[in-house]
Amino acid sequence: MRYYTDVFVEADRLSRSPHGRLEALRTRDLLAGLLPAAPATVLDVGGGPGAHAGWLADAGHRVHLVDLVPAHAAAARQACPAVTATVGDARRLPLADRCADATLLLGPLYHLTDRADRIAALGEALRLTRPGGLVVTATISRHAPLLDLIRQGRVDDRTRPALLAAYASGVNDPVSGFTTAYFHRPAEVVDEFRAAGLPRPELYGIEGPLWPLLPLAGGPETDGALFAEVLRCAALFERDPEVLGTSAHLLATARTPA
């Protein structure tokens, strides 16, 4: 809560850099193909200031956003009048059983460092989603932090031990510049879904293997031929198990049992 209230501005994260825009476009494309036709009731847990809730509402869905950070929930209400937003913890939500056609967890799982907490959040998503509905999560790949800091030139004698420890354990040390977090291997995502009662999850690589080639900064007008090819490559390899882990983020989805 302190990190997202006092340190980091989340509101424009998905628009202020080529990498953010790649993540946004790919997540939107994947969700558009996975979610039920509008109007559906979509629960956006950990939805931040409403980056995805806004376009989902514009597409005709009924969206309720929940976020742990009060400033995020307030920003979502202001930016997206059609979206309802409340403050809440993904592990324990005061919402009725089976209230959603689809439940999104696009942020909470990589901010819960204990496996039991991640499974609890997935269990809540299962409880809140109608039978046959969809649970969709995003996680940060175990490989992403090391790749990202190397491309930024930020790996040195001070940060390298913490990065290697995070690569081994999955738990991030905030010395990296990011807050407390957990980074998944693809097999771990599958294991945690199954442990929560969500069998047969399907995994997608969001950014694909070429995202480190994108420049660190630049506006949308700079997204030229390289950006287009990285985007095409991400779509081409999105289900390839041999390269899934090279994406910065993994999208996983499963239908709730009847």
DSSP-assigned letters across all residues of 190-248: HHHHHHTT--S-EEEESS-TTGGGS-S---GGG--HHHHHHHHHHHHTTT-TTTGGGSS
- Within 44-159, residue ranges assigned H as helices are 53-58, 70-79, 115-128, 144-151
Residue 89, beta-bridge partner list: 92
- Say how far apart CA 97 and CA 85 lie, in whole Å: 18
Residue 48, sorted as left (phi over 0), alpha (psi -120 to 50) or beta, turns out to be: left
The reported pLDDT for the residue numbered 145 is: 92
The reported pLDDT for the residue numbered 110 is: 96
Which residues touch 93 (CB under 8 Å, ≥6 apart)?
Answer: 45, 66, 124, 128
Domains of the chain, earliest start first: 2-255 (3.40.50.150)
- Tell me if 27 sits within 8 A of 106, measured CB to CB: yes
Residue with tokens 């442990």: 195
- Say how far apart CA 187 and CA 156 lie, in whole Å: 30
Run of H or E residues at 195? helix 186-195
> By C-alpha distance, which of 145, 178, 116, 137 is closest to 245?
145
The reported pLDDT for the residue numbered 92 is: 98
pTM: 0.96
For 116, what's the count of Cα atoms within 13 Å in the CB-facing half-sphere?
0
Angle of the 225-236 helix axis to the 18-34 helix axis, nearest 10: 40
The reported pLDDT for the residue numbered 258 is: 85
Angle of the 115-128 helix axis to the 186-195 helix axis, nearest 10: 60
Residue 182, beta-bridge partner list: 171
Helix (H, G, I), strand (E, B) or coil at 114: coil
The reported pLDDT for the residue numbered 69 is: 96
Neighbours of 242 (CB within 10 A): 8
Strands (E), the chain: 41-45, 62-67, 84-87, 100-105, 129-141, 183-184, 202-205, 249-255
Tens-digit pLDDT string for the chain (258 aa)? 899 999 999 999 999 999 999 999 999 999 999 999 999 999 999 999 999 999 999 999 999 999 999 999 999 999 999 999 999 999 999 999 999 999 999 999 999 999 999 999 999 999 999 999 999 999 999 999 999 999 999 999 988 999 999 999 999 988 888 999 999 999 999 999 999 999 999 999 999 999 999 999 999 999 999 999 999 999 999 999 999 999 999 999 999 998
The reported pLDDT for the residue numbered 176 is: 84
Q: What is the pLDDT of residues 97-146, one digit of tens each?
A: 999 999 999 999 999 999 999 999 999 999 999 999 999 999 999 999 99
The reported pLDDT for the residue numbered 175 is: 84
